[in-house]
Amino acid sequence: MEESILDKKGKEGSLLPILIILIVSLLIAGMWDKNAVIKNTAHSILDPSAGALLDLNVIWGMLLLVLILSIIMTIVQKYATDQVTLKEMKMEQKKLSEEMKKVKDNPSRMMELQKESMKFMMPMMKLSMRGIIYTGIPLILMFRWFMDYFSANPYKFFGFMTWLWFYLIASIVFSSILRKYMDVV
């Protein structure tokens, strides 16, 4: 008999390490201006590298930085998560979704399928969030550095967009392409 995806004990892991990293990341972000060591270390590394790119050309520099970060995040996501199990769960959810479309006139069956679909939510989240363990703190440091850089050098991308919106949009585009190319769920 085939083992259920949800029966794979321990596959999804624990949220505790992720929670710890998120708390440490928030502490680092909050202590940025209060603790000179954190801020100065980040600036000593990022000013001559990322800062130099942005000083050459803000748009192309930012695009390159977002691309580099997206590549790193995609690689971490690919190798820090169980891609096989994630793909199986995604396929199972797709089947349930198709089944729900067929039984939309049957409320009791629809509720049953929705319950079944909800069982996948927590394990999928646990599996897909594992990459944060490796990228959470560096990303917070990078974002705090971006805040400092663009406070000192105000710039509106395309005349109206802040660095954060530019980063988010470019990151979504690059990540979508990279995930498809690298076959990452």
pLDDT of residue 3: 53
pLDDT of residue 123: 85
Q: For the segment 128-170, what is each residue's pLDDT rounded down to a tens digit?
A: 888 888 888 899 999 999 999 999 999 999 999 999 999 999 9
CB 166 within 8 A of CB 62: yes
pLDDT of residue 7: 53
pLDDT of residue 34: 94
Q: Per residue, what are the HEC states of 44-92?
A: HHHHHHHHHHHHHCHHHHHHHHHHHHHHHHHHHHHHHCCHHHHHHHHHH
- Indicate the residue type of 85: T
pLDDT of residue 103: 85
Residues of the chain with pLDDT below 50 are: 1-2, 9
What's the pTM? 0.81
CB 99 within 8 A of CB 88: no
pLDDT of residue 158: 92
